[in-house]
Amino acid sequence: MSAVQHRETATGTGGRRSAVFEPEHEMLRDQVRRFVEEEVKPNGLAWEEQGFTPREVLRRMGELGFLGIRYPAEFGGSEMDTLATVVLAEELGRSTFSGFAITVLVHTDMASVHVAHAGSPEQKRRHMADIVAGRKICAVAVTEPGAGSDVKAIRTRARRDGDSYVLDGSKIYITNGVLGDLYCVAAKTGAEGERPSRSVSMFLVEKGTPGLRVGRALDKHGWRSSDTAELFFENCRVPAENLLGAEGQGFYAIMRNFQNERVVIGAMAMGEAQAAIDLTLDWLTSRTAFGGPLWDKGAIRQRLAMLQARVEAGRQLVYHAAWLDTEGADATREVSMVKALCGELVNDVMAACLQFHGGLGFMRESTIERMARDARVQSIGGGATEVMLEEVAKRMGR
């Protein structure tokens, strides 16, 4: 039996990856995996070269129902749960093209959620069906040059002027910043000296709004098939009804969605790690050196086996955190663990797998080289490891 055949038959549980999944989750997994094999892997290198994933790809995913997994049926959604989102993220991570994966996941689980959760009935009526169908691409604009994980430190301001708000400031590292149609923007609305957590609001800003300027597409170390941009707001006037939720509640909306975002990133990271192990196992069983396959070398074989054990542990932690969220429990501690552990673990896996590829792993033509570059940001974006560990430490008790 080949390594690939063994992997395909190893679950032995009717295809279920964990006791928390139901048949509909596994059906979704099969559908997403088929899409990745047929439409992503053959085209991903071209997307890397051009620096973005084409809009048509998201439209196709919308047609297949992948962009509205947890949204109401009235907008074309499937009304599934957090576990379904994890399935989507994990399988997109397995594509080996993480720039593509993050393009989709920012749209589905980091940006559009602000419209879905806090949008008015009119905002939802105007936008949600197009979001689910992939006709409108979403971005979330929180990060600023002087405020990364510290949301309270943002400086972009929004002042009320009659029946409008006027935004001034800038954002950086905004995924889908160039191709986005709808930007969910965090801005300070409170007076100077007001409690920071009560002075942030969220606004829906549409592409083409006067005063919104999309800056340069940023040149990144990895995630090359994802567009990332700077945004500038210069006397940018938006209707007052573009406020998402209540004024002063933006910080809490961002914090609430961080839980979902970090589970999604963790699932994506474990998908990436598993793909790297699978790729490396195939390489080790076919590459001959010192009189036999590299897989015959015990030191290599055991190191890869330990990495597989760690990835399985990380994956089950992701599943557990997603299950807690599905059950309505407070999973802040577990989600912070997910982000810290998985972000570091995927980088450990990539370093070892690149090493096992030898000189080929150092070549730009190799898949593992691209995957290692893509994985580096996993311990940074969405909450740096150090920030996440502080969140865990706060909840450890004494």
Q: How far apart are CA 332 and CA 322, in angstroms?
A: 11
CB 107 within 8 A of CB 58: yes
Contact 146, 117 (CB under 8 A): no
Pairing of strands 138-141, 182-188: parallel
Taking a C-beta distance cutoff of 8 angstroms, is the pair 266, 314 a contact? yes
- Cα-only R_g, the chain: 21
DSSP letter string, 282-316: HHHHH-EETTEEGGG-HHHHHHHHHHHHHHHHHHH
- Residue 91 designated active-site: no
Which one of 90, 230, 261, 391 is the catalytic residue? 261
One-letter identity of residue 123: Q
- Between strands 292-293 and 288-289, the pairing is antiparallel
Q: CA-CA distance, 355 to 115, in Å (whole number)?
A: 44
Length of the chain (residues) = 398
| Residues in a beta bridge with 393 | none
Is 346:269 a contact under the CB 8 Å cutoff? Answer: yes
**Best CA proximity match to 322, nearest among 265, 380, 393:** 265
Q: Hey, what are 368's tokens?
A: 């593992």
Exposed, middle or buried: residue 379 (CB in 10 Å: 0-12, 13-18, 19+)?
A: buried
Active site residues: 261
